Structure 1
Amino acid sequence: MTTDVLRPHAEQDHAAELAALAAADDRPRPPAWKLSPWAVVTYLLGGTLPDGTEITPKYVGRRRLIEVAVATLATDRALLLLGVPGTAKTWVSEHLAAAISGDSTLLVQGTAGTAEEAIRYGWNYARLIAEGPSERALVESPVLRAMRDGKLVRLEELTRIPADVQDSLITLLSEKTLPVPELNTEVQARPGFNLIATANNRDRGVNELSSALRRRFNTVVLPLPDTAEAELEIVSRRVEQLGASLRLPSEVADLAEIRRVVTVFRELRAGRTEDGRTAVKTPSGTLSTAEAISVLTSGLALAAHFGDGVLRAADVAAGIHGAVVKDPVADRAIWVEYLETVVRERDGWDDFYRAGQEILG
Structure 2
Amino acid sequence: MSANTFTTTGDESRQTAGAAPEAAGGEALRPHAEDSFAAELRALAAADDRPRPERWQLSPWAVATYLLGGTLADGTVITPKYVGPRRIVEVAVTTLATDRALLLLGVPGTAKTWVSEHLAAAVSGDSTLLVQGTAGTPEEAIRYGWNYARLLAHGPSREALVPSPVMRAMAQGMTARVEELTRIPADVQDTLITVLSEKTLPIPELGQEVQAVRGFNLIATANDRDRGVNELSSALRRRFNTVVLPLPATPDEEVDIVSRRVGQIGRSLDLPAGPEGLDEIRRVVTVFRELRAGLTTDGRTKLKSPSGTLSTAEAISVVTNGLALATHFGDGVLRSGDVAAGILGAVVRDPAADRVVWQEYLETVVRERDGWKDFYRACREVSA
TM-score grouping bracket, smaller chain normalisation: over 0.9
SS in 1 for 2:126: coil
Aligned to 2:118: 95
The one of 217, 221, 226 aligned to 1:198: 221
Query: Residues 1-361 of structure 1 correspond to what in structure 2 (within 5 A)?
Result: 4-248=27-271, 251=274, 254-361=277-384
Structure 2: how far apart are the matches of 1:329 and 1:107? Answer: 39
In the TM superposition, residue 253 of structure 1 has moved relative to its aligned partner by 5.5
Q: Percent identity?
A: 78
In structure 2, the residue corresponding to 1:80 is in which secondary structure? strand
Contact 1:109 1:155 in 2 (8 A): yes
- Deviation string 1:157-208 (CA, Å, 9 cap, x unpaired) is 0000000000110011000000000000001001110000000111000000
Q: Deviations over 1:227-247 (max 9, x none)?
A: 011101100101111111111
Flag the 1:67–1:122 CA change in 2: closer, same or farther, 3 A: same
The TM-score with structure 1 as length reference comes to 0.99
Q: Which amino acid aligns with 1:304?
A: T
Structure 2: which 5+ runs fail to align? 1-17, 21-25
Tell me, what secondary structure is at the counterpart of 1:182? coil
Query: 1:240–1:252: 8 Å Cα contact kept in structure 2?
Result: no
CA shift for structure 1 position 254: 1.4
Q: Is the 8 A contact 2:200 2:209 kept in 1?
A: yes
Q: How much does 1:118 deviate?
A: 0.2
SS in 2 for 1:358: helix
Q: How many residues align structurally?
A: 361
Give SS of 2:205's match.
Answer: helix
Q: Which whole-Å CA distance do the structure 1 matches of 2:84 and 2:272 have between them?
A: 31
Return closer, same or farther for 1:11/1:250 CA change in 2, 3 Å cut-off. closer
Q: Which amino acid aligns with 1:315?
A: D
Structure 2: distance between partners of 1:169 and 1:296: 39
Residue type at the aligned position of 1:347:
D
Amino acid at match of 1:305: H
Give unmatched runs, 5+ long, in structure 1: none
The Cα of 1:251 is off from its aligned counterpart by 4.0
Maintained 8 Å contact 2:66/2:79: yes
Matched residue SS, 2:246: coil
Letter in 1 for 2:176: V
Please tell me whether the aligned partners of residues 103 and 243 of structure 2 are also in contact (alpha carbons under 8 angstroms): yes
How much has 1:307 moved relative to structure 2? 1.1
